[in-house]
Amino acid sequence: MIRILLTLALLATVTAARANDFWLGADVSGTTELERRGVQLYNAAGQPRDNFMLMKELGMNAVRLRVWVNPKRGDCNKEDVLGMALRAKALGFALMIDFHYSDWWADPAKQNIPEAWKDMSYEQMKQALAEHTRATLQLLKDYGVDVKWVQVGNETTDGFLWDVGRASTHMDQYAGLTDAGYGAVKAVYPQAVCIVHVDCGCDMKRYRVIFDGLERHHARYDMIGMSVYPYWDMDTHLTTSDDETLTRVIANIKQLHKLYGRDVMIVETGYEARRPEAGRAFMQRLITQALRNTDGHCRGVFYWAPEADAGGHYPLGAFDNHRPTVILDPFNANNILNP
């Protein structure tokens, strides 16, 4: 009996330790653009709130902010990111910085070279990437902002900075650019965790391509970032249900750790805002299984652009009528030990 009690106590201690280092957050990079357009957000009681305060009231403990190189309107340039990072700091959020290495969106469909870098050679581009990374992070550090995680690229399923860093044709150069970003991050924030991010967490094949390539070319990274969107998985016929997406994601997290010795962070997820009850159920299962069924190798879950409204053009936000829906209920970090 004593041995059983000691075992249960040990398990409880391990679970608590993992939960204390488990992060529930959101990418709220669109906040200042939304404010510039005059959009007012509210809490569930109808009281006006800014986006950062809403995430805090919902119980999240981390936020993610993207960085563009030279965006036309200034949204998500390093100065805009600094302003949002200071707001995050004031509310006690842990911070993830997500470098897109583009003047606008970078994702599996497009990884456009910034206009100012277009005529650069590979070696010049490595230097530009490193300097942009260092300058952005140094600005944050100069203002007393701590950065816990840094993504070296966003959804780099076929690399980034196409075609110079396209993984399918220039894996060596993609690896070299990634390693240059890693070195720049560590020069400013030595303790920051560097993340390489790939989409479609249910599809192990694309992870093997990228991480086998990075290992082969000795690129440095600390953690694997994953996107989990059952909506897009079913739309592209990768899976046939929420359950299949979830089952494969959890299995892949454990397999990725076995193969590469790195933990995983689900840095993006989302569900149809017009189906809030189904969304809450999926997020509850995703968070619970990420915490309890991955042998401790998933370190957290971030919702992407929760403030996107059910009536808008992007279907996978988590708001309706500018108020949070129940989709976000499972993201209360205070409750993760009691899902």
For residue 15, what pLDDT is reported?
41
pLDDT above 70: percentage of residues in the chain: 93
315: pLDDT strictly greater than 60: yes
Q: How far apart are CA 236 and CA 300, in angstroms?
A: 25
pLDDT tens readout for residues 272-308: 999 999 999 999 999 999 999 999 999 999 999 999 9
pLDDT tens readout for residues 251-279: 999 999 999 999 999 999 999 999 999 99
Residues assigned a catalytic role = 155, 268
- Share of the chain residues as helix, strand and coil, in percent rounded to the nearest 5: 45, 20, 35
Q: How far apart are CA 137 and CA 120, in angstroms?
A: 23
Mean pLDDT, the chain, whole residue set: 93
5: pLDDT strictly greater than 70: no
Residues 6+ apart with CB under 8 A from 144: 89
Mean per-residue pLDDT for 83-91? 98
Backbone angles phi, psi at 236, to 5 degrees: -100, 10
For residue 4, what pLDDT is reported?
39
Looking at the DSSP assignment, which residues form a beta bridge with residue 49? 41
The β-bridge relationship of strands 298-304 and 263-269 is parallel
Reference 114, options 169, 60, 171, 76; nearest CA is: 76
Q: Which fold has domain 2-335?
A: TIM Barrel (3.20.20)
At 322, the pLDDT band (50, 70, 90 cuts) reads very high
At 337, the pLDDT band (50, 70, 90 cuts) reads low
pLDDT tens readout for residues 121-159: 999 999 999 999 999 999 999 999 999 999 999 999 999
214: pLDDT strictly greater than 90: yes
* Domain extents in the chain: 2-335
pLDDT tens readout for residues 93-114: 999 999 999 999 999 999 999 9
List Cα–Cα distances, 118 to 99, 101, 124, 134, in angstroms.
17, 12, 10, 20
Which one-letter DSSP state was computed for residue 27? E
